[in-house]
Amino acid sequence: MSFDFQHRFGTGIEPKEFIQGMTQNKEKFLDWYEKFSLENQEDAAFFGSLKDKHQWHCFILAADWCGDVVRNVPVVFKVLESAGIPTEVLIMEQNTDVMEQFLTMGGRSIPIVIFTDLNGKVLGKWGPRPNVVQEVMIQFKGANPDRNALEYEENLRLTYSEMMKRYNSGSGTDYQQWIVDELRELLATF
C-alpha cells in the first residue's frame, strides 16, 4: 500500500479516549473488553516479546456505532497493549481519505487495523472481522452483485445471520482467538 501515514502520527485518539468518548455501544464494548484476556501462553509470550521493539505504530479506523468495532476492537486493543505498540484510533467519518485507501471489497467496512513503521510506511492491515466471519460476506458479495435484485435484501439478512452464528460459535468468544491468531500471523511477517 502506498498511503503514507507519516503526517498522521498524533492526529488520532488514544484507545482510552475512544472508549471514554463513545456515545453508542459503550457498555457492550466494555463488556467484550473485560471478557477478553490472552490466555494462551504462547500468544502472551509472542506479543510480550514485542514490547521493547518500538518499531511499529498502529492506526485503527473505527466508529462506535459499528457492531464489528464493538466486538473486535476490544480484542485488538488488549493485544496491542500487551505488545506495547503505540495505537491511535481514527474516527472513520473524520478520516474518509484514509478510509478510501482501505476499502473492503469496494466498501467502507470497519474496523481496519493498520500497522506502519515509524516512518509511516504501511506494513500491513487487518479487518474488518476475522476471516472465518468475513468469508460469509465475501461469498454473499460474489453471489449477489446486483444491489437492486429482489432477493438482495433477504440474502443480506441471511448473510448477517450466518455471520452472527460464527461470531457466537463455541463459547461465544471463540472469535477472539481467531483475531489473536490473525494478528499474530500478520505481525510475524514484519
Q: For 90-123, how does the pLDDT look when each residue is reduced to its tens digit (9 = 90+)? A: 999 999 999 999 999 999 999 999 999 999 999 9
Confirm whether 64 is domain-assigned: yes
Confirm whether 165 is domain-assigned: no
What is the reported pLDDT for 139? Answer: 97
What is the reported pLDDT for 121? Answer: 96
For all residues of the chain together, what is the average pLDDT? 95
Confirm whether 119 is domain-assigned: yes
User: Each residue of 26-58: b (16+ CB within 10 Å) or e?
Assistant: eeebeebbeebebeeeebeebbeebeeeeebbb
Range of the domain at 49: 6-128+176-187
Q: Are 58 and 88 in contact (CB under 8 A)?
A: yes
Alpha-carbon gap, residue 115 to 190, rounded angstroms: 9
Confirm whether 90 is domain-assigned: yes
What is the reported pLDDT for 53? Answer: 77
CATH number at residue 25: 3.40.30.10
Q: Tell whether omega for the bond before 111 is within 30 degrees of 0, i.e. cis.
A: yes
Confirm whether 142 is domain-assigned: no
The domain tally of the chain equals 1
Query: Which are the contacts of 171, defined by CB distance < 8 A and separation ≥ 6?
Result: none
Among the listed residues 35, 177, 186, 37, the one whose alpha carbon sits nearest the alpha carbon of residue 113: 186
Confirm whether 53 is domain-assigned: yes
pLDDT digits (tens, 9 = 90+) for 116-149: 999 999 999 999 999 999 999 999 999 999 999 9
Confirm whether 85 is domain-assigned: yes
pLDDT digits (tens, 9 = 90+) for 64-73: 999 999 999 9
Confirm whether 169 is domain-assigned: no
